[in-house]
Chains A and B, each alone.
Chain A
Amino acid sequence: MKRFAAEVAENRSYLTKLDGAIGDGDHGTNMDRGMKKALEKLEAADGDDIGASLKTVGMALVSSVGGAAGPLYGTLFLQMGQSAAGKSELDLAGFTDALDAGIQGVIKRGKAEPGDKTMLDALGPALEALRSAGDDDVAGALSRAAEAAREGMESTVPMVARKGRASYLGERSAGHQDPGATSSHLLLKTVAEAVGSGGAAG
């Protein structure tokens, strides 16, 4: 989680710039504020229940990010937390189920579909990659998921936005990478890197 926060902080201007092109230019700033808040809460909470930690992050994001990203990322983490409740470690199947639950929550809240030029276009392919992976090589599966998220993120470039503020641009939104898909790729990438280097996936 620290890595994701650091990654968001590092990419704050980049995310904000992407958002400036087709949204309102605050995605990086808002996510950075939210993740800083989430880290504060996590440090205060201190426990080994992964579900509880994910919920803590979700609540912090819901109450500090605002905009559309607050409810969407908040819901993602809250639902992942619900799925992982009571667990002190997650195997690949457990993580995949949690991500699935999170994505279902995002779909319900945002009513978006694949191809709408949203964070789902990065999260969806990542989930598929995890589902089709064998259970033996966790690090390999997560890195393929991160790669799928990157491809999904890049696939948003030619898309015409159908949800959120970018949809007001209509055809003019094509040619720009979706900021939400970009931050979602960062999330998957950090998870893969954390596990790859022997840290905990939470």
Chain B
Amino acid sequence: MKKLINAPEDVLRDALEGMAAAHGDRVRVSFDPPVIVRADAPVQGKVGIISGGGSGHEPMHGGFVGMGMLDAACPGEVFTSPTPDQMDAATKAVNGGAGVLHIVKNYTGDVMNFEMAAEIASAEDIEVVAVVTNDDVAVQDSLYTAGRRGVGVTVLAEKICGAAAEEGKSLQEVADICRRVNDQGRSMGMALTPCITPAAGEPNFTLGDDEMEIGIGIHGEPGRQRMKVEPAAKIVERLASAVVEDLPYNEGDEVLAFVNGMGGTPLIELYIVYNELNKFLQARGIKITRNLIGNYITSLEMAGCSITLVRLDEELTRLWDAPVDTIALRWGAR
């Protein structure tokens, strides 16, 4: 294992200290328990929004704390769900009297820890609504799995809900918008290489030099199939057809297209993917009216990408366009 770290057990703390040193104007970082909070929290009268999950997916979620997006993020150990006391501290720190939305990715640990946190919050008379994202079409949603994983849609939901909260919408309204983004969103990812968690010190799975895994999860969970690497156009066709057919997205739909890098793939390749996605959707009469391209929900140094589509309506488009001022996503402000 070659990594820019001091010691595996110090990774989270060292990285959070770096964030605090770099972005003290935007966020407050506390360490016991670890929570990243918007500098001006709690914003009185505004619905607070928190999210969280294992670390190693940066910039998600800490990079999305700020005006127009999250009020706080709870970073767990690498690829390990954060704990209820982190979520409780975050909930209290962002509660401006209008209640708090928990945006939770559908992973067993995240869901259970957020459930415990919601139980604690209700005992403290803070109104909490949790919305679970589950957009990964690679997983069959059945009684025999933990259900579809929450992936790319989470980033888009956090942005759109953040804007809705800034507009003064109520907790129920913001939660409804979150569910709508999740309902209208679908994703699928792929990997060219595995990744190494600092604690494990070795790759979490192996792929041959000429192999890729289609339908990968953001911790290297296996997907639908392992196969020989193909040209980008063919790979995009595999991902995009699974996504498009699942909802399904139809001719005449307007979508937000999100091409996400897994951490180890250069932007030049992500633009090649976007180009192929655009052609694929054009051929089916689906129009990309908004896009996001870059490394936003990563899997450490894994090479690969994911494609997320969200069907847009007028309101979701307006909320997507609204100003946002976070470490990793910024437009229309300042």
Contacts and interface: CB of A to CB of B under 8 A. Distances in A.
Interface residues of A, number: 31
Contacts of A170: 144-145
A26 B197 contact: yes
Given A25-B197, A25-B199, A72-B112, A164 B79 contact: no
A165 B107 contact: yes
What is the interface of chain B mostly: helix, strand, loop, or mixed?
loop
B245 to A, nearest CB: 20
A29 interface: yes
A46 to B, nearest CB: 23
Interface string B145-162: 110010000000000000
Interface string A129-164: 000000000000000000000000000000010111
Interface residues of B, number: 35
A65 B143 CA distance: 27
A164 B108 contact: yes
A162 B144 contact: yes
B174 to A, nearest CB: 26
Q: Which of B78, B109, B217, B222 has the most A CB atoms < 10 Å from its CB?
A: B109
Interface string B92-115: 000000000000000111001101
Interface stretch (B82-90, B124-132, B249-257, B275-283): B82-90
Contacts of A71: 84, 109, 112-113, 115-116
Interface residues of A, dominant DSSP = helix
Given A63-B83, A66-B77, A67-B81, A162 B109 contact: no
Interface in B1-49: 33
A70 B54 CA distance: 13
Contacts of B112: 68, 71-72, 109-110
A66 B80 CA distance: 6
29 contacts: A20-B202, A24-B80, A24-B197, A25-B199, A25-B204, A26-B197, A62-B83, A63-B33, A63-B84, A63-B85, A66-B54, A66-B77, A66-B83, A66-B113, A67-B54, A67-B80, A67-B109, A68-B108, A71-B84, A71-B112, A71-B113, A72-B112, A110-B108, A110-B112, A163-B108, A163-B146, A164-B108, A167-B146, A172-B222
